[in-house]
Structure formats: C-alpha cells, structure tokens
C-alpha cells in the first residue's frame, strides 16, 4: 500500500467509518451497503466469485461494485474525467467571458476544516433544497460539523475549497486525493449566488491547481449518474472539457439481493422513478442491465 492508503486508514479510524482491508486494498462500505475498493479509477481490479462471497459475508454488505479501469471500447459504464487543462485563451469568447465573470466576482481558495465546520452548513443546506429524487437525507448541522472536523490534519488527502463573494462563503468543494487521481467528491453552491458565476470560478481554479500546478494525472468527477440529476456532469463536459472514460462494471450481490434482482429484472422498465425507494431499485436494475450488456459485448468480441 502507498502512503495515501495508510493516510485513509488513519482517517477512517478517526471518523469511525466502516472499511475492510483485503489483499492490500481498502474496501469501503457506503450508507446503502455497497462495498467498493478505494483505488484510482484507472486501475483494474477484479474478484473471483469465491472472493466476492467472502467479502460480502465478512463485511455484511449487499453489493460489491467494481469498475474495471479505463478501456478503449465504448460501454454503457463510464467515469467523467478531465485530463487536460484548457487556459482562458483556448476557450471560445462566450466561455471565456463566463469564466472571467466568475473570476472577477468570486474569490476561490483552499480553506481548512475548522472554517468549513463553522461556516459551511448554510451553503450545504440551501444547495440541498434544490435536489430532486435524492436518496440521501439532509445532514443535521451537528452531523455536518462532526464530519468536517474529522478531516482536520488530513489536508494531504482531503481538500476543502471555498468560493467567496464580498467575503461571504457562497460555495465549497470537498475533494479527495487517491494516489495520482483527484476526486471532486462534493461541490455545493448557494442558489442565491449563482448569478455571480461561482461554478465557473471554482472549476477553472481547481482544474488549474490540480492539473498544472500539482501535475495530477486526471480529475475524476465520479461514475455515470443513473436516474439522478446529471446537470453538473453535463456542465463539466460542455464548459470544461470533462469527458467520458469508459470502464467495465462488475457487480456481486448478497444471496437475498441476487434473488430480488433476478425476480425484478424482467420488469425493470415498468418500475416508476418518481418515488425515492423505487428510484433506488430502478438504478440497481439499470446497473444490472449495464453489467449484462458489457458481458454480452465482450463475449461477442471473443467469438
């Protein structure tokens, strides 16, 4: 394991988050019992059926999801990444004007855990109100502060950025460093201040910092969104040259969930998406559809 892995182990211990170390890989369980490896997206990771069954049982998870590195062939599974910084002069005049407005109106800078704990919750709360069909609940202020403070002394792997208008915090980003990869894990903007173009200032400044000043390999904004609001990923692609990095998808289920998936799969197109828990089921079945499509395509290539 690299030094970054050891730092995450220390962080998870402090935070009290669930993780499991297996074959020198940190496996992290999310709030909805999905187990994923903490590794850069470009790395190829695979499990045998026996290994997956052991991990599911040992961690009491319902799902293991593995994205198998970056591949050349198009697939229905992808990451949204940026591996090339574009300076202002390279943008169209319209895009350059939008970025310049943001840079003129807003100040963007790295901030610390104490600051975000003290001033960040209002931005988080107001940004959360705009979400539709979210599967997560609004954190309480106490929960928000507790998490923010748990990141203290981990600013080598966990970064907080603030966006300010006239000295007031109007947005923030929470990024994580995973070896040579930077993950834009969370970006929140106060809706009352969007007229100041804070997203343009924030993304341009962070992209320049990570890709030029710190020479990271790429920025990862996460996996393909399924049935959720994709406006921000679309924004990154249209405005800042983020692109799809295609990947494989492996999924392993706990025995009870595997039965449920097999039972509901033929009816996947008839499940409504306008209710919270139906949305979760529909997303799960869509992932299964993608997994099957990738296997089918790979089998076709081998014939």
Distance CA 118, CA 190 (A): 16
Q: Rounded to a whole number, what is the largest CA-CA distance in the chain? A: 63
3-state SS, residue 47:
coil
Question: How far apart are the C-alpha atoms of 46 and 51, rounded to whole Å?
Answer: 10
Owning domain of residue 285:
3-70+250-302
Residues 89 and 187 both lie in one domain? yes
Output b/e per residue, 185-208; b: 16+ Cβ within 10 A: eebbbbeebeebbbbbbbbbbbbe
* 110/187 Cα distance (integer angstroms): 13
Separation of alpha carbons 177 and 218, rounded Å: 11
> For position 93, what pLDDT does the model report?
95
Give residue 229's pLDDT: 60
pLDDT value for 97: 97
Do 111 and 195 reside in the same domain of the chain? yes
pLDDT of residue 12: 94
How far apart are the C-alpha atoms of 170 and 150, rounded to whole Å? Answer: 22
Instruction: Examine the pLDDT at 179 and tell me if it is beyond 90.
Output: yes
Contacts of 144 (CB under 8 A, 6+ apart): 117, 120, 121, 124
- Per-residue pLDDT, 31: 81
Banded pLDDT at 303 (limits 50, 70, 90):
very low
pLDDT digits (tens, 9 = 90+) for 8-24: 999 999 888 889 999 99
Residue at a domain's end among 216, 242, 266? 216
Task: Report the SS3 class of residue 207.
Answer: helix
Decide if pLDDT at 126 tops 90.
Answer: yes
One domain, residues 207 and 260: no
Is residue 241 in a domain? no
Residue 6, pLDDT > 80, answer: yes
In a domain, 77, yes or no: no
- Strand positions, DSSP E, 179-241: 181-189, 218-223
Cα four-point dihedral sign 280, 286, 291, 292 = positive
In-domain check, residue 144? yes
* DSSP H helical ranges for 46-181: 49-59, 93-105, 113-119, 121-128, 141-150
Beta-strand pair 34-37/63-70: parallel
> Are residues 99 and 200 located together in one domain of the fold?
yes
Query: pLDDT tens across 213-247, in order?
Result: 999 999 999 999 875 567 899 999 999 999 999 99
Q: What is the pLDDT of residue 227?
A: 57
Residue 242 falls within a domain, yes or no?
no
Residue 1 has pLDDT above 60, yes or no: no
Last residue of a domain, one of 162, 194, 216: 216
- The answer to whether 197 and 147 have CB atoms below 8 angstroms apart is no
**Distance between CA atoms of residues 121 and 126, nearest Å:** 9
Q: Indicate the pLDDT class of residue 32, thresholds 50, 70 and 90.
A: confident
With respect to residue 109, please indicate whether it lies within any of the assigned structural domains: yes
8 A C-beta contact, residue 204 and residue 184: no
User: Any idea which of 25-34, 78-87, 108-117, 215-224 has the lowest mean pLDDT?
Assistant: 25-34
Q: Which two three-digit tokens encode residue 31?
A: 């709030």
What does the pLDDT read at residue 270? 87
Residues 112 and 208 in one domain: yes
d(CA 29, CA 12): 11
* pLDDT exceeds 70 at position 170: yes
pLDDT of residue 155 exceeding 90, the answer is yes
Q: Does residue 42 fall inside a structural domain?
A: yes
**pLDDT tens, 247-291?**
999 999 999 999 999 999 999 988 876 666 777 888 899 999 999
Instruction: Tell me 242's DSSP state.
Output: -
Query: Which residue do the tokens 């903490």 mark?
Result: 38
Q: What would the pLDDT profile of 38-97 be if each residue is shown by its tens digit?
A: 999 999 998 999 999 999 999 999 999 998 799 999 999 999 999 999 999 999 999 999
Q: Are residues 137 and 202 in the same domain?
A: yes
* 8 Å CB contact between 63 and 29: no
Residues 199 and 263 in one domain: no
- Output the pLDDT for position 278: 78
Q: What is the DSSP string of 249-276?
A: EEEEE-HHHHHHHHHHGGGGGGS-SSSH
Q: For the domain that residue 196 is a member of, what is the CATH number?
A: 3.40.630.30
């Amino acid at each position: 394991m690299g030094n970054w892995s050891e730092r995450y182990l220390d962080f998870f211990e402090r935070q009290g988050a669930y993780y499991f170390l297996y074959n020198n890989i940190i496996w992290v369980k999310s709030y909805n019992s999905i187990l994923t490896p903490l590794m850069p997206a470009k790395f190829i990771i695979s499990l045998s059926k026996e290994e997956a069954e052991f991990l599911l049982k040992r961690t009491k998870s319902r799902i293991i999801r593995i994205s198998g590195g970056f591949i050349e062939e198009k697939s229905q599974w992808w990451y949204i990444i940026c591996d090339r910084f574009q300076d202002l002069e390279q943008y169209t005049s319209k895009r350059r004007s939008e970025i310049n407005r943001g840079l003129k109106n807003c100040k963007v800078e790295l901030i610390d855990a104490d600051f975000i704990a003290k001033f960040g919750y209002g931005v988080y709360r107001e940004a959360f109100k705009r979400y539709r069909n979210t599967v997560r609940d609004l954190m309480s202020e106490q929960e928000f502060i507790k998490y923010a403070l748990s990141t203290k002394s981990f600013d080598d792997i966990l970064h907080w950025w603030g966006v300010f208008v006239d000295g007031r915090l109007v947005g923030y980003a929470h990024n994580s460093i995973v070896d040579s990869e930077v993950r834009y894990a969370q970006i929140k903007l106060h809706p009352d201040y969007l007229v100041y173009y804070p997203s343009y200032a924030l993304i341009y400044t962070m992209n320049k910092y990570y890709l030029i000043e710190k020479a990271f390999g790429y920025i990862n904004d996460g996996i393909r969104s399924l049935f959720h609001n994709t406006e921000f990923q679309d924004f990154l692609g249209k405005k800042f040259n983020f692109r799809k990095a295609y990947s494989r998808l492996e999924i392993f289920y706990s025995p009870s969930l595997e039965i449920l998936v097999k039972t509901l799969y033929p009816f996947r197109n008839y499940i409504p998406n306008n209710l919270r828990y139906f949305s979760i089921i529909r997303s799960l079945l869509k992932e299964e559809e993608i997994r099957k499509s990738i296997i089918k395509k790979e089998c076709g290539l081998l014939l």
